[in-house]
Amino acid sequence: MTSRMPAIILLGPPGAGKGTQAKKLEDRFGLVQLSTGDLLRDAVARQSDAGKAAQAVMEAGELVGDDIVIAILNERISAPDCLAGVILDGFPRTTLQAEALDALLRERGDRVDCAISLEVDDEAMIDRISGRYTCDRCGEGYHERYKRPLKDGACDKCGCQKFRRRADDNADTVRRRLVAYHAETADLVEHYDEMGVLAHVDAMQDIDSVQGLLRDLVQPLVTEALGTREAMDVSA
Residues taking part in catalysis: 18, 93, 132, 165, 177
Identity (one letter) of the amino acid at 137? R
CB 211 within 8 A of CB 17: no
Neighbours of 149 (CB within 10 A): 16
Where along the sequence are the contacts to ligand AMP (CB under 6 A)? 14, 36-37, 40, 57-58, 61-64, 69, 90-91, 93, 97, 168, 177
Where along the sequence are the contacts to ligand ADP (CB under 6 A)? 12, 14-20, 128, 131-132, 141-143, 146-147, 203, 206-207, 210
**Which of ligand ADP, ligand AMP, none lies near 229, with the C-beta cut-off 5 to 8 A by kind?**
none
For residues 147 and 143, what is the distance between their CA atoms, to the nearest angstrom? 5
CB of 217 to ligand AMP, least distance (A): 21
Peptide bond into 149 cis (omega under 30): no
Residue whose beta carbon is closest to ligand AMP: 37
For residues 57 and 65, what is the distance between their CA atoms, to the nearest angstrom? 9
Choice between 212 and 227, CB closer to ligand ADP: 212
**Which of ligand ADP, ligand AMP, none lies near 139, with the C-beta cut-off 5 to 8 A by kind?**
none
Choice between 95 and 134, CB closer to ligand ADP: 134
DSSP 64: P
User: What is Dmax (Cα atoms) for the chain?
Assistant: 56
Identity (one letter) of the amino acid at 147? K
CB 160 within 8 A of CB 77: no
**Which of ligand AMP, ligand ADP, none lies near 51, with the C-beta cut-off 5 to 8 A by kind?**
none
For residues 127 and 203, what is the distance between their CA atoms, to the nearest angstrom? 14
Residue whose beta carbon is closest to ligand ADP: 17
**Which of ligand AMP, ligand ADP, none lies near 181, with the C-beta cut-off 5 to 8 A by kind?**
none
Choice between 65 and 141, CB closer to ligand ADP: 141
CB of 94 to ligand AMP, least distance (A): 7
Buried b (16+ CB within 10 A) or exposed e, 108-122: eebbbbbbbbbbbee
Choice between 38 and 224, CB closer to ligand ADP: 38
